Structure 1
């Protein structure tokens, strides 16, 4: 074996030579991959008189090739000066058509709070730690889009919020205005320290600051570039009392989604709801007097409830002043394995229903893609029910073919392999609207008429937009619904909900002669906070005009001495420009 060549010393005065990063002392280029290093190390050892198998290769670092960057990463790396002047239209434009980017997050799995009092959960409810879907939150299966994002993030609120915002941004949506929806069961039944941790991280996800408590997080979120314009919390009537409302106000919550399911006491008892219908009416009253927007969850086709009785329930919901919520979500009942309703369904005949559960009856009349005719008919009847003033103020957020998922609005959103019986499509609203069009009927609720949805098909002329006023009694108070509308095309541009506070005020800031603005919303495609586009409706002055009219009504007709606004954390600066100051959780302006 040839001996290694002796190394020569550098000449006096010459700098000592050191190998460059890409060159080895033994000659040749430095190998880049681990396999090449092993082979090169063996050859180098042979040249130095050692056996190749004894070469010391443990210290050779492992070098892994960098994965190919994603397309969105390459687009993000393009320098600003060379970026295209106009961004392409966003995918799924309807997600920000209402002027905001909705970000749904989920709390950790926990047991239903009324198990302690009733001994069990609702008969139709899947999910939760004690169910067949123990990795999911209460009333979810874990296969919904929001559930899967939460599971991937290990239910970390910061990761859930940040990843969803980044995803919407990559899809071309404006994320300057964000509304959080807290899903995953009754949030207010969780321990207080966990609730504070969850809310703190949501606000920190917008501001980028690491806060020590909720107050600090809200303060930084108020000045962040991404504004939290609202927060929605899912709750139950028994967790919507005075102390709960005060706590939710401190979080920056502006909207409540309350499970009603039915307006019949016997149905609430038979389905093991754990509360009465009277409690629903009471919590609606308390929530509205605190300024919250109220969205009700209703569930047709429950056991022992027929079609006519369901329609009567919805009719009472719209016409009775004890209910009349600001929004409605309809969840047709589904039979899912592991629920109490599944055990009843297996008995096949233990209760009556209108062609929804039992597969042993005669074949169902279907419309198109295996959608029960009765389900579409019931949704159609609900859509056409509110033709007067009560219907114009209500926003039917979702009509969903899933038991308890407020985000599912497409067939792929809910895993129908888990559905034993019931509605087999998630686009019931679309099917019902198509049926109404065939029958020459028209839906007149807020969502159907809002400008962001209608702008896809119709162009609004500013000279045809005018102020419209509607009034109605609801929940022991008087409501004024102001809106700017294109009355010729029946398109809603913006709305304001003004309430003369009743006798059930629990917040000290609202005691006395006070009126409250519960909602101010200008529709249309989302526009950045400091931006303005001539062909968009946001930031054109409609909101200011609505507030001026609300102040006039509160001062002259309500005889109120001050006007309060339940404001999202990120919109407080807007109201400061109009002369409002922060008083507790509200923005307040003196009218005298």
Structure 2
């Protein structure tokens, strides 16, 4: 193959300064890129930068961010996908921004006397300026330390960095790291969350409620917020606070499903408490991601495999996502002392790769593996994982064994575009449905997929709440169905833009919502459907007929109470699909409404509240309890064409 000819007359002038030479070199690189696109030939960017740098005698080659900043507006759309650094950052349709809270001690020191035996970091560790369970040398930790743990500086700096690297940052998902955030004082938590929202909106807010209100209207949308917590800091009061923050997903440290392992590693809580935490979190609408650690002391290979098999099959667990963190030995931890005395030894590297491969083969198609192995630099690891590409090695081992990984991340259309360049045609996409019981409720996983290539385009998680009203949020009493996640994948597209080459903004989300409403009304017999929505996506649900009720976007599946749609927004009530439920429901609601109106204005707000409660009871009594179908999971429900007809009814 003949190398392309990048020869261009140098055009250097006598006495040209270093800055001027650099500017001219960047301009020449951009002009050659534009010429290559016009002529339809591939351009080797690294070779091009070396040639131009040598010609202009530059001490270092132009940076990618400098080249991206110099792109002409008329060519940005064409050239940005070619130049975008680390395209996987936004391959799922969003830009993930990780931030860290200030260093603080682990809350269960007060009850157990110490931290977990494998946990590095924290104010009392060898890495004293780091947060709990981090060393201070992870990329997110170093950004936080440079920003002195200021949330505004962390968020604004990372968003600007991603934008300079060529990514679309209109849709941002925050991940709040740094130990148990909910154990910190409430005034610091409010300060931190307020500044995260203000970093996107540019407004200086005085309270969390004001910050959330302005964040709704921000050009850069906060579409989700993830908070790391523990089961003992995931009670009903904590869940209410996190809902007010705009949180949509929780990351909870389980580490092992065995009670003896939790006790021996000094976790400070029981596995039974974790199970109850999952029920409360899912009934509040949160997506739940769990941290699990294979290769803990006194477990062994067979017990590790059985641990994950039980985790995926037992309805008391069955979370939405998983972070797989093989145990690491790091100096300063209790596990390090056991390792020095010969009382603990890690799995050999090949055995660990084989274990991870077998775990990935067990993952159901509705679970997403968010991460495999910690981001701790290898020089700080005394024993444990020896390679930084454990996921890649495990997938290679699976291929050698004839196994497939079918988790959500592996099958995402954006990830597939990067790794395998698979082309998905819209006429090959079908709506698939999978049902399963989990954490005291009934889950329905709806997904648009290309079943032939096993590629996932979009998903929706629908839950029929089954717990007692006493354990629920006040907005979720009675017969309610909950949409816990709606996500359409593919490379991120700007909020008000469309790209025919990508799947975002093509109507898949509204079709998934239409099917969820049909299931909620006809199968769950729910009175209303609620969505735990990111702050920045609330306007999207308003277009679908939802209104804000507390922290949730809500739609009544029968004619709601007079003004029910007003909620906190003060707008006219939104009618639900009256045809979805039996007609005998409507007279009961009307009778309750007449009784409330006959009471006049006496009683003020108390009377109105009693009337609403009476209506809710009438609705609950009129709608029978759902008969959960035990039909085989993972069966196809209807094609895209059928879904379009349902949405149009």
Q: Which residue of 2 aligns with 1:7?
A: none
Out of 209, 221, 224, which is 1:227 matched to?
221
Q: Which residue of 2 aligns with 1:369?
A: none
Out of 306, 311, 315, which is 1:312 matched to?
306
Out of 486, 492, 495, which is 2:456 matched to?
492
Whether 1:125 and 2:84 are equivalent positions in the alignment is no
Out of 484, 490, 499, which is 1:518 matched to?
484
Whether 1:560 and 2:526 are equivalent positions in the alignment is yes
Change (3 A) 1:557 1:135: same
RMSD (Å) for aligned C-alpha atoms:
1.7
Out of 371, 376, 397, which is 1:398 matched to?
371
CA separation in 2, counterparts of 1:78 and 1:95? 21
Relative contact order (alpha carbons < 8 A, sep ≥ 6): 1 or 2 greater?
A: 1
Please list, as runs of the form range in 1=range in 2, the aligned pairs for 1:249-260 lying within 5 A after superposition.
249-260=243-254
Deviation at 1:426, TM superposition (A): 2.5
Q: Which residue of 1 aligns with 2:396?
A: 434
Change (3 A) 1:75 1:483: closer
Out of 368, 379, 382, which is 2:359 matched to?
382
Q: Which residue of 2 aligns with 1:421?
A: 383
CA separation in 1, counterparts of 2:411 and 2:193? 33
Whether 1:191 and 2:185 are equivalent positions in the alignment is yes
Q: Which residue of 1 aligns with 2:500?
A: 534
Q: Does the Cα contact within 8 Å between 2:68 and 2:166 map onto a contact in 1?
A: no
Q: Which residue of 2 aligns with 1:290?
A: 284
CA separation in 2, counterparts of 1:421 and 1:545? 49
Could you list the per-position Cα deviations for residues 499-550 of structure 1 after superposition, in whole angstroms to 9, with x for gaps in the alignment?
A: 0012144201000010000000001110000010111000000000000000
Could you list the per-position Cα deviations for residues 170-217 of structure 1 after superposition, in whole angstroms to 9, with x for gaps in the alignment?
A: 111100000000000000000000000000000000000100010010
Change (3 A) 1:277 1:87: same
Output the TM-score relative to the length of structure 2: 0.74
Change (3 A) 1:251 1:431: same
Q: Which residue of 1 aligns with 2:445?
A: 481
Change (3 A) 1:554 1:139: same
Deviation at 1:74, TM superposition (A): 8.0
Change (3 A) 1:532 1:84: closer
Change (3 A) 1:468 1:84: closer
Q: Does the Cα contact within 8 Å between 2:378 and 2:388 map onto a contact in 1?
A: no
Change (3 A) 1:197 1:73: farther
Could you list the per-position Cα deviations for residues 442-476 of structure 1 after superposition, in whole angstroms to 9, with x for gaps in the alignment?
A: 11111111111112320101101000010000000
Match of 2:365, SS state, is: helix
CA separation in 1, counterparts of 2:410 and 2:80? 28
Match of 1:519, SS state, is: strand
Q: What stretches of structure 1 of length at least 5 have no aligned partner?
A: 1-68, 357-363, 365-371, 403-407, 409-413
Could you list the per-position Cα deviations for residues 62-81 of structure 1 after superposition, in whole angstroms to 9, with x for gaps in the alignment?
A: xxxxxxx9874686477757
Deviation at 1:435, TM superposition (A): 0.9
The number of residue pairs the alignment matches comes to 493
Deviation at 1:83, TM superposition (A): 6.6
> Which structure: greater helix fraction?
2
Q: Does the Cα contact within 8 Å between 2:498 and 2:504 map onto a contact in 1?
A: yes
Q: Which residue of 1 aligns with 2:157?
A: 163
Whether 1:583 and 2:556 are equivalent positions in the alignment is no
Output the TM-score relative to the length of structure 1: 0.81
Q: What stretches of structure 2 of length at least 5 have no aligned partner?
A: 1-61, 559-649
Q: Which residue of 1 aligns with 2:132?
A: 138
Q: Which residue of 2 aligns with 1:23?
A: none
Q: Which residue of 1 aligns with 2:601?
A: none
| Structure label with greater radius of gyration | 1
Deviation at 1:419, TM superposition (A): 1.0
CA separation in 2, counterparts of 1:87 and 1:127? 39
Out of 429, 452, 455, which is 1:465 matched to?
429
Whether 1:569 and 2:531 are equivalent positions in the alignment is no
